Chain A
Amino acid sequence: MAADLWTALFIAVLAAFVGYEVISRVPVLLHTPLMSGSNFIHGIVLVGAIVALGLATSPLERAIGLVAVIMGAMNVTGGYVVTERILAMFDRSKPKGGPK
């Protein structure tokens, strides 16, 4: 296994603990927005999709890469907007059912 893979593995182990710790004190109230928010964060897949399409050479690779970018972009924007809409309702400073 290449050195960068080992580095990535070290990073992954640490990230797993961070993910666990950050979530462990969340009230039930926030479970839905949190699921939605973490759904947004794995939208980072868009970065990988851009790299995959950006390096693609054959038509088939380009086609699949394009699908990846479309899906990744949907994940990012949709995930953000849904989370924002849910959390906007928790904002006390706004009037009830306030404008979106």
Chain B
Amino acid sequence: MTAWVGPAIDAVYVAAIVVFILGLRAMSSPATARRGIVYAGIAMLAAVGATLATPHLSNFALIALGIVVGGGAGFYWARVVKMTAMPQMVAVFNGMGGGAAAAIGAVELLGSLTSGATASLSAAGAVIGSISIAGSTIAFLKLQGWMPQKPIVVPARQVVNFAVLAVAIGFGGVAFWTARDAYLLPFFLLLLLYGVLFTLPIGGADMPVVISLFNALTGVAVGLDGFALVSGPLGDAGYAMVIAGVLVGAAGSLLTALMARAMNRSIGNVFFGAYGATEEAGGPVAGSMKPIEIADAAVMMEYATEVIVAPGYGMAVAQAQGKVKELADALEAKGVTVKFAIHPVAGRMPGHMNVLLAEAGVAYDKLFDRDEIDAEFAHADVALVIGANDVVNPAARRPGSALYGMPILDVDRAKNVLVVKRGQGKGFSGLENELFYQENTRMVYGDAQQVVTALVSAIKKGPA
């Protein structure tokens, strides 16, 4: 090896880390966010390039094959997926990272079962990575609708889960003490099972928090794998992994906590509470749901001074964001003030609604966070709820309700409430929404895109 190759590769790693951090910082402001991901991408290319240039590596054909297959699949899938499916895409790619971390841990364990510190660090990376890939897979299946989104509760699950994890780690210990690789198979299988069991009881509305947690966990797993590598022959790649992994672990943990806080729930409650499954489903609600014709709803909005739109997951599912933008334009053309109230956990990810409305071309200054706009509902003539449910349920204000304490949009305080909804079903909490039974609430049943399209044409035509 030429003397300068090693230091040159190290220099690339250092530069890559600097650019990663700058990129992450740029991503935390709207004006520079796009530049941030490009920086991070360049840093990643440099780091991977430097690693490939490292002396002593072999199996280059396999490495190339892996990069082409994995990179190609990831690129293709990420290109074709619809914007509404972004949450589960993040879950998938995050799971891949966790799986890679677990696999690296496995290779390390197969090679170094006798050296204590390295083996335990690899094992820890394998534990967390395995939980992350199994859990992310379940999160993907739930969000994609390929399995029920409701919490699935196994009897005595805390005990069962703990036992599974304990036995898994026991197998890991036995593999270490006896230096027999065969015990690693049940070790990994049980860890995957634990990841599945951990995620099953968590309901659809909590999925964003879970994905964020697995994102942080994958970061930690990558960092731990990095620890295991630093004492190996190619230690400097290990340092890069430690920094990037821990960076994501810390940032992801904070993001997870912020998201849980937006729902006024503790992290423990989200992950171990089996929300909506163990609590009372709530009694019947007085009153009835009152439907309204499209034409009447259109007139109601046309003659309003101010309309506040509260979008939710239903808008994302129906891909109605473009039509919602048209509706806002049509109303504004008639002199109506239109604002959007964005609940922090509306949709399936924080900022999900912002992303979709931005895609449709709605200006930022019309989007308001919950605390900015809540007081304004009382002055609004019409609150238009499009496919949102639990985040507008006034039951959250009443002690004793399963939703109690969750911050909601105060749409029920508007003079009139219009709710666009596919059917009479309940939200992810499984609770009846008292808003729908209110005296001043009218229901417009149907697919959000079709309903909003009809509203737009009714408004453009003007009152008959």
Are A51 and B57 interface neighbours, CB within 8 A?
yes
Task: Pick from A25, A32, A39, A69: contact of B62, CB below 8 A.
Answer: A69
Are A68 and B71 interface neighbours, CB within 8 A?
no
Given A34-B28, A44-B44, A8–B234 Cβ distance below 8 Å? no
Nearest A residue to B92, CB-CB: A78
Are A36 and B86 interface neighbours, CB within 8 A?
yes
Are A45 and B215 interface neighbours, CB within 8 A?
no
> Within residues 1 to 32 of chain A, which ones have a CB less than 8 A from any CB in chain B?
1-2, 4-5, 7-9, 11-12, 15-20, 22-32
B349 at the interface (CB under 8 A from A): yes
B108 at the interface (CB under 8 A from A): yes
Q: How far is the CA of A50 from the CA of B68 in the complex (A)?
A: 13
B378 at the interface (CB under 8 A from A): no
A77 CB to closest chain B CB (Å) equals 4
Q: What are 22 residue pairs bridging A and B, where the CB atoms are less than 8 Å apart in the complex?
A: A19-B24, A25-B28, A30-B28, A31-B351, A35-B215, A40-B93, A44-B245, A45-B222, A48-B101, A48-B229, A49-B104, A56-B59, A61-B110, A64-B110, A65-B107, A68-B104, A69-B70, A70-B70, A71-B100, A75-B94, A78-B73, A82-B86
Are A65 and B350 interface neighbours, CB within 8 A?
no
Using an 8 Å CB-CB cutoff, how does the interface string of B17-33 with A read, 1 for contact, 0 for none?
Answer: 00011011101111001
> Within residues 174 to 233 of chain B, which ones have a CB less than 8 A from any CB in chain A?
211-212, 215, 218-219, 222-223, 225-227, 229-233
Are B227 and A77 interface neighbours, CB within 8 A?
no
Given contacts A41-B219, A74-B70, 14 further A-B pairs with CB under 8 A are: A5-B231, A15-B243, A23-B28, A28-B342, A32-B355, A39-B93, A52-B103, A53-B66, A66-B65, A69-B63, A69-B70, A72-B97, A76-B48, A90-B33
Given A42-B222, A53-B62, A19–B70 Cβ distance below 8 Å? no
Please indicate the chain A residues that have their CB under 8 angstroms from the CB of B90 in the complex: 32, 35-36, 39, 79, 82
Please indicate the chain B residues that have their CB under 8 angstroms from the CB of A99 in the complex: none
Q: How far is the CA of A7 from the CA of B90 in the complex (A)?
A: 32
Are B30 and A29 interface neighbours, CB within 8 A?
yes
Task: Pick from B117, B237, B349, B359: contact of A35, CB below 8 A.
Answer: B349
B15 at the interface (CB under 8 A from A): no
| Number of residues on chain A facing chain B (CB within 8 A) | 85
Task: Pick from A38, A49, A96: contact of B361, CB below 8 A.
Answer: A96
Are B237 and A51 interface neighbours, CB within 8 A?
yes
Please indicate the chain A residues that have their CB under 8 angstroms from the CB of B154 in the complex: none
Binding site for B on A (CB under 8 A): 1-2, 4-5, 7-9, 11-12, 15-20, 22-58, 60-62, 64-91, 96-97
Please indicate the chain B residues that have their CB under 8 angstroms from the CB of A17 in the complex: 250
Q: How far is the CA of A74 from the CA of B90 in the complex (A)?
A: 11
B414 at the interface (CB under 8 A from A): no
B354 at the interface (CB under 8 A from A): yes
Given A78-B77, A85-B78, A12–B27 Cβ distance below 8 Å? no
Given A44-B222, A45-B225, A11–B243 Cβ distance below 8 Å? yes
> Within residues 6 to 56 of chain B, which ones have a CB less than 8 A from any CB in chain A?
20-21, 23-25, 27-30, 33-34, 36-38, 40-41, 44, 47-48, 51-52, 54, 56
Are A85 and B234 interface neighbours, CB within 8 A?
no
| Number of residues on chain B facing chain A (CB within 8 A) | 120
Are B92 and A90 interface neighbours, CB within 8 A?
no
Using an 8 Å CB-CB cutoff, how does the interface string of B255-266 with A read, 1 for contact, 0 for none?
Answer: 100110010000
Are A69 and B67 interface neighbours, CB within 8 A?
yes
Please indicate the chain B residues that have their CB under 8 angstroms from the CB of A91 in the complex: 34
Are B107 and A64 interface neighbours, CB within 8 A?
yes
B172 CB to closest chain A CB (Å) equals 16
Please indicate the chain B residues that have their CB under 8 angstroms from the CB of A35 in the complex: 90, 211-212, 215, 252, 255, 349-350
Binding site for A on B (CB under 8 A): 20-21, 23-25, 27-30, 33-34, 36-38, 40-41, 44, 47-48, 51-52, 54, 56-60, 62-63, 65-75, 77-79, 81, 83, 86-87, 89-90, 92-94, 96-97, 99-101, 103-104, 106-108, 110-111, 117, 121, 211-212, 215, 218-219, 222-223, 225-227, 229-235, 237-252, 254-255, 258-259, 262, 322, 342, 344, 349-352, 354-355, 358-361, 364, 367, 369
Are A8 and B230 interface neighbours, CB within 8 A?
yes
Nearest B residue to A65, CB-CB: B107
Given A28-B350, A40-B44, A77-B74, A16–B355 Cβ distance below 8 Å? no
Task: Pick from A8, A60, A82: contact of B242, CB below 8 A.
Answer: A8
Q: How far is the CA of A38 from the CA of B81 in the complex (A)?
A: 19
Are B57 and A43 interface neighbours, CB within 8 A?
no
Please indicate the chain A residues that have their CB under 8 angstroms from the CB of B322 in the complex: 97
Task: Pick from B41, B68, B242, B254: contact of A15, CB below 8 A.
Answer: B242
Q: Which of A19, A29, A45 has the most CB of B within 10 A?
A: A45
Please indicate the chain A residues that have their CB under 8 angstroms from the CB of B352 in the complex: 32
